[in-house]
Amino acid sequence: MSENLNVLTSTQAIIHEALNKLGYDEAMYELLKEPLRMLQVRIPVRMDDGSTKVYTGFRAQHNDAVGPTKGGVRFHPGVYEDEVKALSMWMTLKCGIVDLPYGGGKGGVICDPREMSMGELERLSRGYVRAVSQIVGPTKDIPAPDVMTNAQIMAWMMDEYSLMDEFNSPNFITGKPLVLGGSQGRDRATAQGVTIVIEEAAKKRGINIRGARVVIQGFGNAGSFLAKFMHDLGAKVIGISDAYGALHDPNGLDIDYLLDRRDSFGTVTTLFENTISNKELLELDCDILVPAAIENQITADNAHEIKANIVVEAANGPTTAEATKILTERGILLVPDVLASAGGVTVSYFEWVQNNQGYYWTKEEVEERLIKKMVDAFDNVYTTATTRNIDMRLAAYMVGVRRTAEASRFRGWV
C-alpha cells in the first residue's frame, strides 16, 4: 500500500490521536478536524500585455475560539484546498505551542510569482485582499508572509486594506517593512526560532554546534537566514539546496558568497555545474538536517536513508507520518514543524502587539522575548514526549491543540 501524502488527512489523524490522549471525545474532533471557514476566491488580474488572467485563491480559518486567526499567504503553483486547510490547522498548533492569543489561519493563491512582473504581483496582491476582505481584519484574521511572499507584498496588501478601511491599518497584516510598522527581527524570526530549537536539541544529544555538520534543504527566507546563523555559530554547513538542485562540500560551503548570489526567491544552484539532487542532499552524512522547503520530502521511501542525528523541520509538513515513525524508531530526534518553525508567527504576534500599541520595541527586546518563547516551547514538548513515551510530533500536537479545545469548550461550542 502506498503512503498517504495528503497533508490534510494525515494531520487529522494526529489531531485525533492527540485529542484522544488528552481525554476529549469525538465531538471535539468533529469540531477541530476541518477549518470553521474556508473561502475560495477568483481574482482577475490585468497582465502587462493587456490580457486578463483569473487566479484562484483561498483563505482558511481553522478555529477562532482563542482569538483572531493568524497565518501566512503563500503564492505557489502547487497550492490546493486541502493543503491550505492543513496549513491553517498547523497554525492553530503553532500558536498553541508558543502560547499566542490566536487561532490558526492560512491563505494561498495558485500562481508562479517567479514568472510575474512586479506590477502583476502588486495587482494580484491587492486583488487577493479585496477578494477575502469580508473575513479578514485586525481583530478577525491577520495574514503574513509564507512561501514566495515577502515584505513588499505585505506592504501592498496593507495599503489595499487601509484604502478599503479608510484608516491606516498596520495591524491588519504582519511581516511588513519596518517603515510601515514592521517589527525588528521579523524577517529572520523563523530562522532564529529554528536556531534556538537546534541549540536545545543539540544539548539533549550532546552535540556541539561548533563544528557540527549541518544540511539545509531550501534557501528561501527560513533556509538562507538559517545557513547564516549556523555558519556564524561555527557549524559547518555542508549542504544547501533550492528548487533546482543542491550543493555539497564536506568541508563547508561558502555561505556568505551563496547569500550574496541568491535571487529573491532563493535560487542559487543554477550558477553551479557540479550539483547534486535534493534527494541526495537529504541522505548526506551529517549531524543536523533541516528541511526548510516544502511538504513531503522525507517519506517512507527515504526515511531509512537519513543519516542525521537530529532532524529539525523549518518547513511546514516536510516529513510524512510514516517517516516520522521510522525516524523515531531509528533513534533520530525529530523536532516537528509546528514547534521548530513557530518563531515566525511569534514575532508576527510581537509586530501586531506593537502596531496595536503604537510603541515599537528594540531588536534586543524582540530577540529576548523570542528566545524565551521558543525555549519554553521546546521544553514543554520535549518533556511531554519523554514522560509519555511518544514521538515529538504527537507531543507537539497535544501541547498545541489543548488550548483551542479548552477555549471551544468554555465557549460552549462542544
**Alpha carbons 322 and 305: distance in angstroms, whole number:** 14
Residue 245 in contact with residue 276, Cβ under 8 Å? yes
Binding mask 105-144 for ligand GLU (x = CB under 6 A): ---------------------------------------x
Only segment of 47-55, 268-276, 283-291, 337-345 that touches ligand GLU (CB under 6 A): 337-345
What's the DSSP call for residue 184?
A: T
Block residue for cell numbers 549556523: 230
- Residue 149 CB, nearest distance to ligand GLU (Å)? 8
Which residue minimizes CB distance to ligand GLU?
72
Among 88, 192, 320, 341, binds ligand GLU (CB under 6 A): 341
Please identify which of the residues 70, 85, 94, 106 carries the catalytic annotation. 106
Q: Beta partners for 56?
A: 42
Binding mask 8-37 for ligand GLU (x = CB under 6 A): ------------------------------
How is residue 347 written as a grid cell?
Answer: 514575532
β-pair type (37-46, 52-61): antiparallel
Which amino acid is present at 89?
Answer: M
Q: Under rule CB under 6 A, which residues in 67-106 are in contact with ligand GLU?
A: 70-72, 94
- Residue 375 CB, nearest distance to ligand GLU (Å)? 18
Task: List phi, psi (to 5°) of 284.
Answer: -65, 150
**Alpha carbons 41 and 54: distance in angstroms, whole number:** 10
Which amino acid is present at 369?
Answer: R
Q: Is the Cβ of residue 85 or residue 94 nearer to ligand GLU in the bound state?
A: 94
- 146 near ligand GLU, rule: CB under 6 A: yes
Q: Under rule CB under 6 A, which residues in 35-74 are in contact with ligand GLU?
A: 70-72
How is residue 11 written as a grid cell?
Answer: 494531520
Only segment of 51-59, 203-211, 276-284, 344-352 that touches ligand GLU (CB under 6 A): 344-352
- 348 near ligand GLU, rule: CB under 6 A: yes
Going from the C-alpha of 96 to that of each of 22, 198, 229, 367, 398, the distances in angstroms are: 14, 20, 26, 20, 9
106 included as an active-site residue: yes
- 174 near ligand GLU, rule: CB under 6 A: yes
Among 86, 345, 392, 394, binds ligand GLU (CB under 6 A): 345
Residue 300 in contact with residue 320, Cβ under 8 Å? yes
**Which of 391, 390, 377, 388 is closest to 323 using CA atoms?**
391
| Interface residue list for ligand GLU (CB under 6 A) | 70-72, 94, 144, 146, 174, 316, 341, 344-345, 348
Give the catalytic positions in this structure. Answer: 106
